[in-house]
A and B are shown apart, each in its own frame.
Chain A
Amino acid sequence: MKVKRGNFFSLLVIAAIICSFTLMTPAVGFSAGKPIVIGGSLPLTGAYAETGQWIEKGMRFWADEINSKGGMLGRTVEFKIYDDQSDVGKAVTFAEKAITVDKVDLLFGGYPGTAARAVMPVAEKHKFVYVSMGGHMKSFEQGYTYSFGAPPLMGEWWYEGFFHWLATVPADKRPKRAAVYTINNPVGLSLMDSINRWTKKLNIEIVINEKYNAPLTDATALIVKAKQSRCDILFANGFFPDGVTTMKAAKALGYNPKAIVQGIGSVVPAWVKELGKDGDYVFSGTCLSGQLSYPGNDKLNAYVKKTYNLNEYPLYFGFGYSWMQTLEQAVAGAKVLDQTKIRDWLKANKVNTIAGPMTFDKRGLPEPINFGTQIINGKVELISPKNVQTKEPVYPKPAWEK
């Protein structure tokens, strides 16, 4: 039995060829007149699964809705969603697969920012419109013409709403000393922009300004330092896990600043659900909210109430929906599935989304959109600007309940 190794090798080669053939067959066969296919990848498993799945739900809700209305350009729409397993490299490969193999008609936006940063050049090279949250300001400054943020998740704008409100507080009641703890990644770093601008303007001294790397397993030292330096405002510029650790330590150690401002940890539904009362009175920002009066929001809220028993749709559900709304209007406006025409239409016209009307500049960005939020009694309330305010903010923050 000497030839076996060679046999085995040839077997392998054959197997490999068969495998690649199965991969080559586009998963969906379609031609003109068939459904409009929108493709791309989302992190459905792995580290970013939670967010990825909310985006998917928002997109699917949009698709059901538009299909019940007769579809886009008279054709139904369907998704080709790949799971990139929270891997940036896979996000790029799947974007290329959607574009070149599945020959999708439209591309949808991905998550997280690092993946979007890597997919944006792919979309640009293949001349595909890419409507997503982007990867903060830096990614929109790379000169891409096919990328749009509708709305973008823009760390640079995130605290605008909060600071606008804080400016209305009489100067003697404002906090004086800030402790700023920032997660060392693109999201955290981009949050620093508005903090730096506004603390100067409002005469707030940044006493502590530190970064930390994920995972933050213990926040005791952070809180003790802030407490000892008598900081009366805490900026916890982080995600959910580090946000929770920080909040729990703040309560346990009896740290009671006038305000706690949280990055993007408090925007996920789990914040209110899991932390309950301990998650209250946290300030943050948003660019989407079910409490805005723009058309569509009621419908989304009713849907998530019925399906997931949530009072308001989660931010990322809204993102998924809003990106699709933008694409839908662009396609309807351009009247053809030609990417460059869709892009040009978007650059020249206004879209109406659940985050409000938007027009896009050269970078693909709308005017800064931001609303200040505070969690009051387990509900995310809008506090700023005044015309959308749903509740008067609670300030200074009441002491922790024992």
Chain B
Amino acid sequence: MNKYYPAALAILIILLAAFPAIGPEVYYLSFMFSVFMYVILASSWNFIGGYAGYLSFGHAAFFGIGAFATAKMATVFQLPPLLTMLASIPAGGIAALIALIVGYPCLKIRGPYFSVVTLCFAFVVDLAVKNIEYLGGAEGLWMKFMDLPEKTARTIMYEAMLLLMVITLAASWFLGRSRFGTGLTAIRSDEEVAETMAVPTAMLKIKAFVLSAFFPGVAGGLFAYYLGYIHADAVFSINISILIVLMAMFGGGGTWLGPIIGAVILTVVNEGLSTFAQAEIARIIYGGLFIVVTIFMPNGIIDFFRKRGG
């Protein structure tokens, strides 16, 4: 471990936090907001998917639950802007609670079967929100926007998402270096062996799952407020669930840096391509990226560079 590493990180975070001060256009704040969001999603998915090897294909469900819970609280209690953003924390709590309830039976199932149960779960939540008027309904929910200049409003959103990202990454960092993380890795390599070695597998898995649902829930709340109008299709989409998995695995699952790199690269490349290339061609190039990277770095980007670096 390089001793400058933490210092470099701290500087990077400060630079990111200070970024709005140089007066960038609103779009950059928004774009970075979405980059942070995907870093949060991929990194928190990594708790259960990367470390423990339980590939959840329904993580958009927690993201969406957070979004709708926040929007609902904002409309029911007529919350002012700042409180709406804070409401995303209990919204994340709701997501975590649901993860606890669902995780208990689901985490007994292993491998691909777990993936498909979570996939079904995401559909169930999506359809429940659409069908039950009280939860948001098929019309979606509108939220009041901040009574502030647009740039200030977006800066607040940016800083909030950045803060959440830092917290998520810190959690991820400590998790990777704790006994908790070691236990999860043991589960991934061989759950039966881990059990015989007195690793409390059930407990660890459920903890990781709940934790990995909480952060996306909060991020969902912020995203809802960012959009101003929230519809089930925008947050529960299966594409988001798959994208989260791919981002984490693309960079390298089960590592701290992997999901970050995956999320950043894929978000930036996708955005850049939409700007510079014709629509279908852009998508084809984007698809080609997955193929090329996998063929040359079949174990993820991180692994590739580690091997190179020795």
Contact = CB atoms under 8 A, between A and B. Distances in A.
A89 B227 contact: yes
A45 B283 contact: yes
A398 interface: no
A249 interface: no
Interface in B24-39: 24-28, 30-31, 34
- Interface residues of B, dominant DSSP: helix
Contact of A93 (B24, B30, B257, B283): B30
Interface string B277-290: 00110110000000
Contacts of A186: 138-140, 231
A220 interface: no
Given A100-B25, A189-B138, A9 B8 contact: yes
Instruction: Categorize the interface residue count of chain B.
Output: 35 or more
A5 interface: yes
B271 A23 contact: yes
Given A9-B8, A96-B26, A85 B274 contact: yes
Contact of B231 (A83, A92, A117): A117
B186 interface: no
Interface in A83-111: 83-85, 87-90, 92-94, 96-97, 99-101
A13 interface: yes
Contacts of B2: 2-3, 5-6
A213 B2 CA distance: 54
Interface string B232-257: 01100101000000000000000001
Contacts of B140: 114, 117, 186
Contacts of A372: none
Nearest to B26: A100
Nearest to A80: B275
Nearest to A142: B142
Interface string B181-211: 0000000000000000000000000000000
Nearest to B261: A12
A82 interface: yes
Interface string A216-255: 0000000000000000000000000000000000000000
Contacts of A16: 264, 268
B306 A5 contact: yes
Interface in A311-329: none
B142 A89 contact: no
Interface string B253-271: 0000100010010001001
Interface stretch (A118-126, A169-177, A345-353): A118-126
Interface residues of A, number: 55
A44 B138 contact: no
Contacts of B8: 6, 9-10, 13
A83 B140 CA distance: 23
A337 interface: no
Interface string A329-371: 0000000000000000000000000000000000000000000
Contacts of A90: 274
B296 interface: no
Given A3-B2, A13-B12, A82 B274 contact: yes
A110 B240 CA distance: 21
A388 interface: no
B272 A118 contact: no
A79 to B, nearest CB: 13
Contacts of B228: 118, 121-122
A101 B227 CA distance: 19
A88 to B, nearest CB: 4
Contact of A83 (B4, B27, B279): B279
Contact of A23 (B31, B150, B153): B31
Interface string A105-144: 0000000001001101110011000000000001100100
A1 interface: yes
Given A5-B2, A89-B234, A117-B231, A185 B138 contact: yes
A239 B139 CA distance: 16
Contacts of A97: 27, 30-31
Nearest to A7: B309
A20 B228 CA distance: 26
Nearest to A125: B150
Given A4-B308, A45-B279, A93 B231 contact: no
Contacts of A125: 145, 150, 153
Considering residues B31, B237, B257, which has the most beta carbons from chain A within 10 angstroms of its beta carbon? B31
Given A45-B283, A114-B231, A8 B25 contact: no
B271 A118 contact: no
Contact of B28 (A4, A20, A122): A20
Nearest to A42: B279
A213 B131 contact: yes
B30 A96 contact: yes
B5 interface: yes
B34 A93 contact: yes
B127 interface: yes
A138 B272 contact: no
A207 interface: no
Nearest to B270: A85
B310 A121 contact: no
B305 interface: yes
Contact of A118 (B130, B234, B274, B282): B234
The 5 closest A-B pairs by CB, nearest first: A4-B309, A44-B279, A100-B25, A6-B2, A1-B310
Interface of A: 1-10, 12-13, 16, 19-20, 22-24, 27, 44-45, 82-85, 87-90, 92-94, 96-97, 99-101, 114, 117-118, 120-122, 125-126, 138-139, 142, 184-186, 188-189, 211, 213
9 contacts: A5-B309, A16-B264, A16-B268, A23-B268, A23-B275, A83-B274, A100-B25, A114-B229, A138-B142
Given A22-B272, A117-B140, 11 more contacts: A6-B2, A23-B271, A27-B276, A89-B234, A93-B30, A93-B271, A97-B31, A114-B234, A117-B142, A117-B231, A118-B231
Interface of B: 2, 4-5, 8, 12, 24-28, 30-31, 34, 127, 130-131, 138-140, 142, 145, 150, 153, 223, 226-229, 231, 233-234, 237, 239, 257, 261, 264, 268, 271-272, 274-276, 279-280, 282-283, 305-306, 308-310
